[in-house]
Amino acid sequence: MPYFRKFVALVALVVCAGANAGAPKEIFWEDLIPKGHVQIDTQAQANHEGSEQNWVQPDLDAPVVKELNGQSVSLPGFVVPLEGDSEVITEFLLVPYFGACIHVPPPPPNQIVHVTIKDGVPIESLYDAIVVTGVISTETWSGEIAQVGYKMKAVGVAPFEL
Amino acid sequence: MLLIKLATKSLLNRKASALLTLFTIAISVMLLMSIERVRVDAKSSFSNTISGTDLIVGARTGDIQLLLSSVFRIGHANNGVSWKSYQYITGQRGVKWAIPMSLGDSHKGLAVLGTNKDYFEHYRFAKKQSLSFSQGHEFNHLFEVVLGAEVASSLGYQLGDEVVIAHGMGNTSFHNHDDNPFKVVGILKPTGTPVDKTLHIPLAVIEAIHGGHAHQHEAAQVDANDHDHDHDHDHDHDQHDDVDLVGTPKQITAFLLGFDSPLYTLQVRRNINQYKDEALLAIMPGVTLRELWEMLSIVEKILLLFSIVVVLISLLGMLTSLLSSLNQRRRELAILRSVGARPWHIFTLISVESLLITGLGCIVGIALFYALMLLGADYLQSHAGISLNIALLSSYELMLLAAIMVAGFIVGLIPATRAYFYSLADGMSIKI
Amino acid sequence: MITLENVLFKWHAKQPEPTINITKLDIDQGEHVFLHGPSGCGKSTLLSLLAGVTVPTQGNIQLLGKAINQLSNSKRDRFRADHIGYIFQNFNLLPYLSPIENVTLGCQFSKQRQKNALKNSATMAAEASRLLSALGLNDNLQHQAVAQLSIGQQQRVAAARAFIGSPEIIIADEPTSALDTQNRQAFVKLLFEQASAANSTLIFVSHDETLQTLFTRSISLVELQGGTDATH
């Protein structure tokens, strides 16, 4: 029947589209900064005595790329653990460079991703870079300072190979 | 089958040496399993002690020392955080909550913690679980105390009891004016963390424990406030907010911070670590715990290595006993050959014997392991804060047992092969 | 049904004199043969060859029509399990099995012997018991620990084991040496009874001349090795 063939074709199309949509897009840290935005040097910002008011976050001007919201991506970085147990880490911050580095100020909020992973993942060494794959979202939260930032629901973590 | 029956009867005939070997293996299995279980549970207990806290802030000592002294009540902080710095930092925009902590006192060996009501609301442990009360509620007045589960059970305190908490000893009678008794208003549910062994009092009263003028002032404040109370104070919490549970201490030991977003954490940590007005240290609990594990990992590996060596030694004992018995059993082998047993049967017979000894050794070892765990659980909980999980064997532990069985089998191959060649060479004529 | 032809056996290839050198030896079914010779003349070796435990360096050994020297190791072991019962001079029994279990061991490795045993009794244990009784061991003794039996009793248990399942060939290697003279003849008579009942061939090795008279056929191993034809 011709209808059946059309139906099969439609299903195939949807599946293909779905599969393509599902394939995570490889992004890097520059992709998290909107094009054209000049990122303020946080070191300079921090030294500013006048920024006492923004003690928790000197870089108020750290916009996010709204288009990334809801996309499936994979992003390499380093892990700063937040929650977990002796076996796995269930929540962590993903940053562009080794998190405990004390020589440079921490990255601005649009260069940090707050990652949660259901069931957790064992992470051998914080010194090694990993690639996190999952759905990234841009969030605004209320507080005394209105801020935006990236969150990710990760589905997988793999070691980063150059 | 036949060979298993022969192996069993043969072992029963050599009961003394077989049992000896079996017990050696059993004890080594018990040792290995116990060490591994305690190690895993200790790590788990530690990891489960604090959750949902972005930063711990204290005097600039060392990361691990701050973590251990503030959260685990192990060791002491030599220095504190000035109240001024505390107010400045917690006053920053973006700070969602702050819990001040004053440690260093003890009551009959249990830690006394001075803090505010936010502790009961914001402190989390083991995957963001909140503290909850099995009886009563948090403190609302100055001379009230909330007990951790262990404190109540081990000291036999109940809701409504009056407890004297004095600096140093706590045994003096409360008729003495210098000592203010604290009323037990709440008992927390067990958490499996150092919270269970802690007495929680309002920060403001830490001064009172140390006696002196401050205490008289507080007492006056208490008396004044008490007059304003309704009889039914459980229902009217608004009035209780008037009681300043925090006071203005000069110094606190440490404080916990939670922000509107964890994305702030890295920046605040840096700011505190570089704070010019006072030498302070901020740590992220998750990160510092990992540092602790790294430090301990070498100890863990050595412990594991030792227990594996003990298992190997016991298996070698089995090897020795089987090999030496072979010499006396050459006649037995000849008899078996004469009734038609093939050298392969002989090989299997000895192999089965070694498997039986190893297998039974493992089973007895597991029984001993559980006995040891049940006996030791209380001690570990009260003396080291480790809550043992007396559950079934984990897949890791089963894998350890499987490895021991395989090792026993491989070790058993040596006498089995010997026996095989004996039976080939000897045939039926034995040089006894 | 036992035939040896030009059988030569050396333990080591460089051995100057062969341990066994038999041109011909024929034994019929049902015969009771007394095989004698001084120590060191190769009795044990010959028994080893007959039982299929060792293989001749040269020559043919035919048992029940089969050339066992041509069989593989495992086939020879199986042949022995099926067709040969063996009695040692001493220490015949496994100390960790009861007398009954020691006897049933005789057919545990052979389905054929199991079948034969079950023709006579309902279970193998029952057959073992029957044989032990026939050999003079009462019920009490049958369940006693092997270590508590006298030598004579132990030898009789060994005999029962050799006979259970009616193997065609019974080889007894000086089974009476450890017994006192009184009991030796009695033991031999018991062997005759059982062998006749199953029409098995009995090869009895001994250097006790007093027993020789009980046998219809006597072979001197020394003479045998000397190259003479040992036929009837």
How does pLDDT run across B98-146, given as a tens digit for each residue? 999 988 777 777 888 989 888 998 998 888 888 999 989 888 888 889 9
**C61 falls within a domain:** yes
Torsion of CA B251, B253, B259, B262, to 10 degrees: 140
Distance CA B152, CA B187 (A): 7
Query: Considering the domain boundaries, does residue C231 fall inside one?
Result: no
Contact B209/B165 with Cβ under 8 angstroms?
Answer: yes
* Distance in Å, alpha carbon of B147 to nearest chain A alpha carbon: 26
Both tokens of C78, joined, read: 């199986």
Calculate how close chain C gets to B19, using CA atoms only, in Å: 16
Q: Which two tokens stand for residue C36?
A: 């004698």
**Cross-chain Cβ contact C48/B13 below 8 Å:** no
Query: Where a domain ends, among B283, B317, B341?
Result: B283
Backbone angles phi, psi at A26, to 5 degrees: -75, 120
Q: What is the CA radius of gyration of chain C?
A: 17
C-beta atoms of B286 and A81 within 8 A: yes
Q: Which residues of C touch B (CB under 8 A)?
A: 44, 47-48, 51, 53-54, 73-74, 77-78, 80-82, 86, 88, 91-97, 101, 105-106, 108-110, 161
B127 at interface of A, judged by CB pairs closer than 8 A: yes
The last residue of a domain, from among B230, B253, B283: B283
Is the pLDDT at C225 greater than 90? The verdict is: no
Does some domain include residue C230? no
C149 located within any domain = yes
Q: B73 and B13, same structural domain?
A: no
Lowest mean pLDDT among A45-54, B21-30, B148-157: A45-54
Instruction: Find the mean pLDDT for residues B167-186.
Output: 61
**CA atoms within 13 Å, Cβ hemisphere of B386:** 18
Q: Are residues B40 and B62 in the same domain?
A: no
Chains C and B touch (3+ CB pairs under 8 A): yes
**What is the percentage of chain B residues whose pLDDT exceeds 70?**
86
pLDDT at C92 over 70: yes
- Same domain flag for B136 and B230: yes
Q: Looking at residue B302, what is its pLDDT?
A: 92
Residue with tokens 């499936």: A72
In this prediction the ipTM stands at 0.87
C225's CB contacts (< 8 A; 6+ apart) are C20, C21, C22, C41, C42
At C135, which CATH number? 3.40.50.300
Per-residue pLDDT reduced to its tens digit, B8-17: 998 898 888 8
Same domain, residue pair B112 and B42: no
> Is position C43 within any domain?
yes
d(CA B38, CA B45): 10
> Mean pLDDT, to the nearest integer, of B32-55?
87
Tokens 């080794």 correspond to A98
State residue B19's pLDDT score: 92
Tell me if B56 sits within 8 A of B64, measured CB to CB.
no
Q: Is residue B147 part of a domain?
A: yes
**Contact between B341 and C86 using a beta-carbon 8 Å cutoff:** no
> Strand, helix or coil at B115?
strand
**Number of domain units in chain C:** 1
| Exposure letters B336-366 (e unless 16+ CB within 10 A, then b) | bbbbbbbbebbbbbbbbbbbbbbbbbbebbb
B123 lies in a domain?
yes
CA torsion angle for C192, C193, C196, C201 (degrees, to 10)? -30
- Cα B155 to chain centroid distance, Å, stands at 21
Q: Answer yes or no: is B431 within a domain.
A: no
- For residue C179, count CB atoms less than 10 angstroms from its CB and return exposed for 0-12, middle for 13-18, buried for 19 or more: buried
| Residue B291 is assigned to a structural domain of this protein | no
Output the CA torsion C96→C99→C104→C109 (10° steps).
40
Question: How many Å apart are CA C134 and CA C152, to the nearest integer?
Answer: 14
Spatial separation of the C-alpha atoms in residues A71 and A21, rounded to whole Å: 9
| Nearest C-alpha neighbor of B131 from the set B106, B158, B103, B99 | B99
Rounded Cα distance, B269 and B55, in Å: 7
Q: Cα(C66)–Cα(C62) distance, rounded to whole angstroms?
A: 5
Does B273 fall in a domain? yes
List the one residue out of A91, A147, A88 whose CA is nearest residue A114: A91
- Tell me which chain C residues have a C-beta less than 8 angstroms from the C-beta of B331: 91
Say whether both B85 and B226 belong to one domain: yes
- On whether residue B99 sits in a domain, the answer given is yes
Residue contact A83–B265, C-beta within 8 A:
no
In contact, B198 and B113? CB cutoff 8 Å = yes
The answer to whether position B432 is within a domain reads: no
Asked if the model's pLDDT at residue B172 lies above 60, the reply is no
Nearest to C88 by CA among C170, C143, C20: C170
Residue from A142, A90, C96 nearest B332 by CA: C96
CA distance linking residue A157 with residue A72, whole number of Å: 13
Structure tokens at C163: 């006979």
Which tokens go with A91? 């929540």
Per the document, the length of chain C is: 232
A104: which residues sit within 8 A by CB, 6+ positions away?
A43, A97
Place of tokens 């000895």: B350
Name the token pair of B55: 């930063």
Model confidence band, residue B171 (pLDDT cutoffs 50, 70, 90): very low
**Which subunits count as partners of chain A given 3+ CB pairs below 8 Å?**
B
B246 and B392 in a common domain: no
Segment C18-35 shows an average pLDDT of 88
Give the whole-angstrom CA distance, residue A100 versus residue A108.
15
Percentage of the residues of chain C whose pLDDT score is greater than 90: 16
In three-state secondary structure terms, A131 is strand
- Claim to verify: residue B234 and residue B111 sit in the same structural domain: yes
CA distances to B14, B84, B113, B120, B342 from B248, rounded to whole Å, are 78, 10, 16, 20, 90
Burial class (CB in 10 A: 0-12, 13-18, 19+), B293: middle
Please report residues of B whose CB lies closer than 8 A to that of C48: 427-429
Do B382 and B323 lie in a common domain? Answer: yes
Predicted pLDDT of residue A57: 64
Q: How far apart are alpha carbons B172 and A107 in whole angstroms?
A: 56
Collect all residues of chain B within an 8 Å Cβ-Cβ radius of residue A56.
Answer: 92-95, 259, 264, 267-268, 271
Say if residue B303's pLDDT is above 70: yes
**Residues 6 or more apart whose Cβ sits within 8 Å of residue C29:** C1, C168, C199, C200, C201
Instruction: State which of B283, B312, B346 marks the end of a domain.
Output: B283
Q: Are residues B252 and B311 in the same domain?
A: no
Give the contacts of B218 (CB within 8 A, at least 6 positions apart): B142, B204, B205, B207, B208, B247
Answer whether residue C205 is part of any domain. Answer: yes
**Span C21-28, average pLDDT:** 87
Q: What is the mean pLDDT of chain C?
A: 86
Q: Work out the average pLDDT over B335-353.
A: 89
B344 to C80: CB separation less than 8 angstroms, yes or no: no
pLDDT value of position B214: 43
- What's the confidence (pLDDT) of residue B335? 87
* Contact across the interface for B263 and A149, Cβ inside 8 Å: yes
Chain A residues in contact with B284 by the CB 8 A cut-off are 80-82
Checking DSSP bridges between strand A113-121 and strand B280-283, what pairing results, if any?
A: unpaired
Q: Based on the domain organization, do B198 and B95 belong to the same domain?
A: yes
Same domain, B178 and B303: no
**Residue B247 or residue B12, greater confidence:** B12
Predicted pLDDT of residue A121: 87
Query: Which residue type sits at B291?
Result: E
Q: Does A34 touch chain B (CB under 8 A)?
A: no
d(CA B340, CA C77): 5
How many domains would you assign to chain B? 2
Q: Could you say which of B12, B336, B341 has the minimum Cβ distance to residue C96?
A: B12
What is the Cα–Cα distance from A41 to A36, expressed in whole angstroms? 15
Residues in chain A: 162
Low-confidence ranges of chain A (pLDDT < 70): 1-2, 9-22, 39-61, 99-103, 142-146
Statement: residue B369 has pLDDT above 80: yes
Q: What's the domain range around B259? A: 55-283
Q: Is residue C99 assigned to a domain?
A: yes
Mind listing the pLDDT tens digit for each residue in C183-192?
888 888 888 9
Question: Which of B5, B338, B348, B422 would best serve as a mutation to test chain C binding (most C beta carbons within 10 A)?
Answer: B338
Spell out the domains of chain A, with CATH numbers in brackets. 26-159 (2.40.50.870)
The domain of C74 spans 2-225
Contact predicate A148/A113, CB 8 Å = no
Please answer yes or no on whether B340 and C109 come within 8 Å at the CB atom. yes
Choice between C188 and B175, residue whose per-residue pLDDT is larger: C188
Dihedral of alpha carbons C101, C103, C107, C109, sign: positive
**Are B88 and B236 in the same domain?**
yes
Higher per-residue confidence, C196 vs A59: C196
β-partners of residue C203 are C33, C171
Q: What is the pTM of this model?
A: 0.73
